[in-house]
């Protein structure tokens, strides 16, 4: 359904149960939400509905649970092609080096992304976005990082912005120029970082295409010193930072990110207590990515006990990308976080709403239901919110209200106006 055909959500939503702040004891049975001009103006129990609103149009939620819209706070959604054949080669015993020599790996995605025009990238990314929207995602972060040249990075970010406009979903764009070394800069990583900091970022920020800046701090990515240069360039443009950190080894990336007041540090399988303490002090969110952990058959768990002990917010995301997490289901990530990482149901509910919003620096707009906010919420045909983490391969979403408009899903009947 296009934005122009999506009906307004204005009116009183009733015959529902509310979970205004997932992860907290805030459930309201027999609740009601009042939407006016696309914004929530009141919520509470139906019995307490003010007389002022009783004359408004009614939306019967059919006994659904209503939560805030889901937030997918780490994706690489815009890129050319796919890497299914590479996956098959790896399963058949091919090494990373053999795959790379055959033209696979990130180089193949960079090539496909550079060769594709904006319309092609948009069509491919739209196909990946639709199932996320059908599961209740109302805000999503989309990174660049598969162009690795000014024109190609610009193309990715322009498509990301276009997706937000076309689908009525809030898109946060992240410039990830320091994702990998492009082939033409082989052996010249510092020169490439010069390009990222002195040419790409100023141009893209100047065009209004960048909401945050990210880097891949890893032995196969960029060093802490190179990452620091990227962060310093981001600061010159007034942009917040995020970091791919401690996924394959511990280079102190999370502590480095925290020293720059990063919104989040992501992956974190090899995070140590010093890094956790630094993140806690800075308020940096830990974004865990069970899809990549699963797809790579990793066995080194992120330090959940330490994150809990030090009170670090824990968010979850799909990390959708063609090489290590080709998933389009945030609900599946919730289940995987429970089964693989041993997270609790309240933790994963908060991880895809309130904490994910903090990871985008958007907690004032997303992640909770509150008067004054844009109407972004999801109707779930479940008996208990725990079902959102319990099922896998089943989508109990009945309808999504995104930016004040109603989008019924194929799996649900939606609300009765």
Question: Would you list which residues are annotated within the binding site?
Answer: 74, 76, 83, 146, 179, 244, 247, 319, 321, 323-324
Extract the annotated binding site for Zn(2+).
74, 76, 244, 319
* Angle (nearest 5°) at CA 102 between 97 and 107: 80
Where are the alpha helices (H) located in 197-302, listed in sequence order?
201-206, 224-236, 253-259, 273-282, 290-295
212-215 and 170-178 beta bridge pairing: parallel
Query: Which residues, 6+ apart, have CB-to-CB distance to 6 below 8 Å?
Result: 168, 402, 405, 406, 407
* Angle (nearest 5°) at CA 23 between 368 and 214: 65
Query: Contact at 8 Å (CB) between 272 and 245?
Result: no
Tokens of 335: 């289940």
Tokens of 241: 């930072």
Order of strands, sheet of 11-18, starting from the edge strand that comes earlier in the sequence:
39-45, 28-36, 11-18, 58-68, 377-380, 397-402, 405-408
Backbone angles phi, psi at 45, to 5 degrees: -75, 150
Tokens of 318: 């799909």
Distances (CA, A) of 343 to 272, 307, 335, 339, 346: 19, 11, 9, 7, 8
179-204 burial, b for 16+ CB within 10 Å, e for fewer? bbbbeebeeeeeebbebbbeebbeeb
d(C-alpha 252, C-alpha 267), whole Å? 13
d(C-alpha 379, C-alpha 388), whole Å? 11
d(C-alpha 31, C-alpha 66), whole Å? 9
Extract the annotated binding site for 4-imidazolone-5-propanoate.
83, 146, 179, 247, 324
* HSE-CB for 198 with a 13 A CA cutoff: 6
Other residues' Cβ atoms within 10 Å of the Cβ of residue 73: 34
Order of strands, sheet of 314-316, starting from the edge strand that comes earlier in the sequence:
242-245, 264-267, 285-288, 314-316
Query: Which residues, 6+ apart, have CB-to-CB distance to 237 below 8 Å?
Result: 201, 202, 205, 210
Extract the annotated binding site for N-formimidoyl-L-glutamate.
146, 321, 323
Partners of residue 285 on adjacent β-strands: 264
């Amino acid at each position: 359904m296009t934005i122009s055909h999506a009906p307004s959500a204005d009116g009183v939503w009733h015959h529902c149960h509310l979970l205004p702040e997932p992860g907290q004891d805030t459930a309201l049975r027999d609740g009601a939400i009042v939407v006016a001009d696309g914004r929530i103006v009141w919520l509470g129990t139906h019995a307490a509905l003010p007389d002022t609103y009783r004359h408004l149009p009614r939306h019967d939620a059919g006994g659904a649970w209503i939560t805030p819209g889901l937030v997918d706070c780490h994706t690489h959604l815009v890129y050319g092609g796919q890497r299914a054949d590479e996956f098959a080669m790896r399963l058949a015993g091919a090494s990373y080096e053999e795959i790379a020599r055959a033209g696979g790996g990130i180089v193949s995605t960079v090539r496909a992304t550079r060769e594709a025009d904006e319309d092609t990238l948009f069509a491919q990314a739209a196909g990946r976005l639709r199932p996320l929207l059908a599961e209740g995602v109302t805000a999503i972060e989309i990174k660049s990082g598969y162009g690795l040249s000014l024109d190609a990075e610009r193309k990715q970010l322009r498509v990301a912005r276009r997706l937000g406009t076309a689908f009525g979903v809030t898109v946060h764009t992240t410039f990830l120029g320091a994702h990998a070394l492009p082939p033409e800069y082989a052996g010249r990583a510092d020169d490439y970082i010069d390009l990222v900091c002195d040419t790409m970022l100023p141009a893209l920020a100047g065009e209004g295409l960048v909401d945050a800046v990210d880097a891949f701090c890893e032995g196969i990515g960029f060093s802490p010193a190179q990452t620091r240069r990227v962060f310093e360039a981001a600061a010159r443009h007034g942009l917040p930072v995020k970091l791919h950190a401690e996924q394959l080894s511990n280079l102190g990336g999370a502590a480095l990110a925290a020293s720059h007041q990063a919104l989040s540090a992501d992956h974190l399988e090899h995070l140590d207590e010093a890094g956790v303490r630094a993140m806690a002090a800075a308020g940096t969110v830990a974004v865990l990515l069970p899809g990549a952990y699963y797809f790579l058959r990793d066995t080194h768990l992120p330090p959940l006990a330490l994150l809990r002990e030090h009170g670090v917010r824990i968010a979850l995301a799909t990390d959708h990308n063609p090489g290590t997490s080709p998933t389009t289901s945030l609900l599946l990530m919730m289940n995987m976080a429970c089964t693989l990482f041993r997270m609790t149901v309240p933790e994963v509910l908060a991880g895809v709403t309130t904490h994910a919003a903090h990871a985008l620096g958007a907690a004032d707009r997303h992640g909770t239901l509150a008067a004054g906010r844009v109407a972004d919420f999801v109707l779930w045909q479940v008996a208990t919110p725990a079902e959102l983490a319990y099922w896998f391969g089943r989508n109990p979403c009945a309808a999504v209200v995104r930016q004040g408009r109603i989008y019924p899903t194929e799996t649900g009947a939606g609300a009765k106006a």
